[in-house]
């Protein structure tokens, strides 16, 4: 990278948490939600900026399918950290329902709610059909859905008179983010002057292109006068490189199992992935997990700075899919310490 671009240091940007409320082998969603709230309370204490939960369906290792409900649970148990969705998959829902849900959340927890939106189903096609019924949406009408949703919050954006109103929702200032793993949402976020969050944690090869497209297509709006880009990144930190590498095998197994259509709860770490998977399968993980940062505090700090040098992100959203809850807490604590 050229020296002129390496202007940002880790302490210069904000850090946030993306939580999938993981369900581990032998665990239950109830335990997952207890752990989610515990992590959120620690994240707030450690100075993280926001805490987002993701909408996924029909996945035995993710408990946050009713995303807005879990957001309410986390917001009620914390006091100042922003809480939101990373994201709500808008094609799964009628925009009015999302406007009402997030209008309710913002009314209950004013000034603390974020609405991150994606256009992927967050699940398989059969489950998407079960979710959507007669919505008839396949994601191609995402821009129209988005404009309908924005108009529920701000009726001045509507083409004509609003005959249906979102109550609660109308008139509330709820930050709307677009989420993406390719260029589509990057360009749309830029054109609308919205903040953009990129899923580097599972689409690393598209990161720099999407961020460049977002920044080049950005048009100032009444929301932002300049681009604001957040990047999601897998960070698994521990007191030693060896321990972190062991913990990371849980995340690797999750992706390996998904690639085989084997959807199971989060698996405990294993000493040698090679004992369970072929070299070809393990090498293929690089396409999805290539930007993951794994290691001791020193290693993680160096890799996070390199990632910031490359992306020039305004904020990083850290994902830690770690089997043991205490080890997960420790990983986030390390991130908080090295970014101060």
pLDDT at 127: 78
In degrees and rounded to multiples of 5, residue 198 shows phi and psi of -105, 140
pLDDT at 131: 78
Cα 300–311–68 angle (5° rounding)?
80
Please, which residues have CB within 8 angstroms of residue 72's CB and are 6 or more apart in sequence?
A: 105, 108, 109
pLDDT at 4: 44
What does each C-alpha distance from 295 to 11, 15, 137, 274 come to in angstroms?
Answer: 19, 18, 42, 20
pLDDT at 1: 38
pLDDT at 159: 84
In degrees and rounded to multiples of 5, residue 324 shows phi and psi of -90, 125
Question: How high is the mean pLDDT in each 10-residue block of the chain (340 residues)?
Answer: 65 97 97 98 98 94 96 98 96 94 98 94 72 64 94 92 94 97 94 96 91 98 97 97 96 90 92 87 85 96 97 98 98 97
């Amino acid at each position: 990278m050229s020296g002129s671009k390496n202007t940002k240091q880790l302490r210069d940007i904000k850090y946030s948490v993306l939580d999938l409320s993981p369900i581990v082998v032998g665990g239950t969603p109830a335990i997952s939600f207890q752990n989610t709230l515990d992590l959120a309370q620690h994240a707030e204490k450690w100075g993280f900026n926001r805490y987002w939960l993701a909408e996924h369906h029909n996945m035995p290792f993710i408990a946050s399918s009713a995303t807005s409900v879990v957001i309410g649970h986390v917001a009620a148990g914390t006091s100042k950290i922003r809480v939101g969705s990373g994201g709500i998959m808008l094609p799964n829902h009628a925009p009015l329902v999302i406007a009402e849900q997030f209008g309710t959340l913002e009314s209950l927890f004013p000034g603390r709610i974020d609405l991150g939106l994606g256009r992927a189903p967050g699940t398989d096609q059969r489950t998407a059909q079960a979710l959507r019924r007669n919505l008839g949406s396949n994601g191609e009408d995402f821009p129209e859905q988005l404009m309908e949703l924005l108009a529920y919050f701000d009726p001045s954006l509507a083409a004509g008179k609003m005959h249906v109103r979102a109550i609660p929702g109308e008139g509330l200032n709820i930050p709307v983010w677009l989420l993406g793993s390719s260029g589509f949402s990057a360009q749309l976020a830029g054109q609308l002057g919205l903040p953009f969050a990129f899923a580097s944690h599972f689409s690393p090869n598209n990161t720099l292109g999407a961020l460049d497209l977002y920044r080049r297509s950005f048009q100032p709006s009444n929301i932002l006068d300049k681009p604001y880009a957040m990047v999601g990144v897998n960070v698994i930190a521990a007191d030693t490189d060896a321990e972190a590498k062991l913990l990371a095998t849980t995340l690797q197994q999750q992706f390996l199992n998904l690639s085989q259509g084997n959807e199971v709860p989060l698996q405990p770490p294993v000493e040698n992935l090679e004992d369970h998977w072929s070299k070809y399968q393990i090498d293929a993980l690089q396409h999805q997990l290539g930007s993951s940062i794994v290691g001791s505090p020193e290693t993680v700090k160096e890799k996070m700075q390199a990632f910031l040098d490359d992306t020039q992100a305004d904020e990083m959203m850290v994902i830690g899919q770690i089997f043991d809850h205490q080890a997960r807490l420790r990983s986030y604590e390390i991130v908080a310490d090295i970014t101060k």
